[in-house]
Amino acid sequence: MVERLQSFGEIVLSKQVLQAISEMGFEEPSPIQNETIPLVMEGSDLIGQAQTGTGKTAAFGIPIVEKVNPKFQAVQAIVVTPTRELSVQVSEEIGKIGKYKHVKILPIYGGQSIDRQIRALRFGCQVVVGTPGRLLDHLKRGTLRLQYVEMVVLDEADEMLDMGFIEDIEDILKQIPNEKRQVMLFSATMPLVIRKLARNYMKSPKTISVSQDELTVTLTEQVFYETREKIKVDALCRIIDMEDIGQGIIFCRTKRGVDELVTSLEARGYFADALHGDLSQQQRDRVMKRFRDSKIELLVATDVAARGLDIDNVTHVINFDIPQDPESYVHRIGRTGRAGRKGKAITLISPREYRQLRLIERLIKTRIHRQELPSLTDISERQADNLRNQLIKLMQTDHLGTYRSVIRSLLEEYDSTDVAAAALRYAVEGAYSDEYGDEDDESFGNTGAAAGMVRLFMNIGRNQQIRPQDIVRWIAEESGIPGNIIGMINIYEKFTFVEVPAEHANRVLSCMHQNMIKGRKVSVEPAKAR
């Protein structure tokens, strides 16, 4: 159980919301949350100039959850988004925030059965998140009523302008009672049409913005590794073993995560210590002194705890948990590559976190390069090289008297190469065991695919109007692999076979299975051999 936050910066929140955002990994409000939430709680209309990924969903989601009445089964807040993907994403995040207040959120978008949405609206919910076209459709049918709505969010207004939705937005706003209506508008840019919309439908709005300067990054080398949750700690250990880490900072989302990772690292023989908000100033100072004095090689920290750290000799920053927004990513990797020194930023992601990674790349305008997890052979070779170098250093010191006598006695009975090899094996296996395993290698056997490919079965086909380009786009968008490497696609009435490269099959399965396409949850599994 995640420990509940006692406070959220200077912002006063209910116990239920504090508990929910604790579980989401929040510790302290981001700049946009710090400025937005108090203004919205006061009832002010608001214009926020901020891009997706700056933490703005929670900036309007937290006050929505705090202000709606969960016992009243009527729509009290509406969020308008340009795409169905964003509708689902925003709905999920507000749902997590409202978990303990029992606030019901309903996403409404095209491509999903309208009858299902009508049934959900009849059942009752407090917050609707939807695309303009589908929202208008429900309004015209009379299945969505806005007479009790007091909070309206226009998310990514400039993108909705580009997609031709401004008239639809105005039609929606006209159906919301003006007297109690509180409007929040978020947009990365502020073209004239958006400003006109604000003038016509908002009352003395307050304006806040997130400076784009904060999203610039250093020339630090940036890479990522894909891994599964159950072997994440072991994957981290492989990476540490392969890197020349002088001193490294490892970031986790939560205080509990920091403590658990430190315990795991120490159990594996690494010198690590924790830095998070539960430490007293005296404890914090003691940890920082040990880190500066190189008595610990790995500092495991939360975002809040690491703010303001000024240490010049950090060689690596590792994101054990991908940050919740690009701004946090920038702050994290800014801890390395300082004072003209080279630095490296490493991020661990699961297959489902590719979307967040791409968002970070777009906002920082930098490509983060993928690297393959080191194999056991790679690590063994690296450790053998390290041992060789250490042996050379020891021989150069010439302080080997005691050990020479042991070796001389062995050489009377055994070959000198065997003695040296046995010593090396003892050193390697003493320092390193097979604790990592090879869990991330999964053989799919014969699926009837071409050489180097894996054939996957999907329970969706021509009956759902599926086309090959739908399959390619769906796999490419969800899993992040290029569409041009997807192989043969065979679509039948009720099912489909698609071939993907064997090295990407695990990722595709993780991302696709139980995902939605054309409004239907799809099962994906390795095919049986033909």
pLDDT in tens, 470-529: 888 888 777 777 777 888 888 888 888 899 988 888 888 877 777 777 777 788 888 876
Which pLDDT value is given to residue 256?
A: 87
Q: Is 168 within the bounds of a domain?
A: yes
In which domain, by residue range, is 275 found? 215-370
Confidence of residue 440 (pLDDT cuts 50, 70, 90): very low
pTM of the model: 0.50
The string over 315-327, giving b where at least 16 C-beta atoms fall within 10 Å of a residue's C-beta and e elsewhere, is bbbbbbbbbbbbb
pLDDT-derived band at 432 (thresholds 50, 70, 90) equals very low
Residue 8 domain-assigned (yes or no) = no
Do 418 and 471 share a domain, yes or no?
no
Q: Clarify whether residues 231 and 91 are in a common domain.
A: no
9 or 371, greater pLDDT? 371
pLDDT tier for residue 213 given thresholds of 50, 70 and 90: very low
Is the pLDDT higher at 201 or at 481? 201
Query: What is the DSSP code string of 25-45?
Result: T--S--HHHHHHHHHHHHT--
Confidence at 175, pLDDT banded by 50, 70, 90: very high
* 294 and 412 inside one domain: no
Asked whether residue 328 falls in the same domain as residue 315, the answer is yes
Which of 525, 347, 354 has the alpha carbon at shortest distance from 442? 525
Highest mean pLDDT among 287-301, 366-380, 422-436 belongs to 287-301
Residues 364 and 459 in one domain: no
CATH of residue 234's domain is 3.40.50.300
One domain for residues 335 and 355? yes
Instruction: Provide the phi-psi class of 119: left if phi over 0, else alpha when psi is between -120 and 50, else beta.
Output: alpha
pLDDT digits (tens, 9 = 90+) for 242-262: 888 888 999 998 888 898 898
Same domain, 357 and 469: no
Residue 212 has pLDDT above 80, yes or no: no
The CATH number of residue 481's host domain is: 3.30.70.330
Which of 186, 210, 234 is the last residue before a domain boundary?
Answer: 210
Q: Which residues contact 196 (CB under 8 A, 6 or more apart)?
A: none
- Tell me, yes or no, whether 448 lies in a domain: no
The answer to the question of residue 445 being in a domain is no
**Banded model confidence at residue 47, pLDDT cuts 50, 70, 90:** very high
Do both 19 and 58 map to the same domain? yes
- Residue identified by tokens 């894996």 is 454
- Asked if residue 5 is part of any domain, the answer here is no
Residue 418, in any domain of the structure: yes
> Does 444 fall in a domain?
no
**How far apart, in whole angstroms, are the C-alpha atoms of residue 507 and residue 485?**
14
181 and 89 within one domain: yes
The mean pLDDT value of the chain amounts to: 83
Q: How far is CA 327 from CA 63, 322, 323, 330, 521, in A?
A: 21, 12, 9, 5, 33
Is 7 domain-assigned? no
Q: Which of 152, 183, 210 is the last residue of a domain?
A: 210
How many CA atoms lie less than 13 Å away from 431 in the CB half-sphere? Answer: 15
Are 175 and 46 part of one and the same domain? yes
Q: Are 56 and 203 in a shared domain? A: yes
Least confident of 216-225, 360-369, 413-422: 216-225
Q: Which band of pLDDT confidence, cut at 50, 70 and 90, is reported for residue 70?
A: very high
Q: Do 518 and 431 have their domain in common? A: no
Question: Using CA atoms, how far apart are residues 68 and 74, in angstroms rounded to an integer?
Answer: 10
Number of folded domains that form the chain: 4
| Domain-terminating residue out of 157, 191, 210 | 210
What's the pLDDT band for 216 if we cut at 50, 70, 90? Answer: very low
CA atoms of 456 and 443, how far apart (whole Å): 13
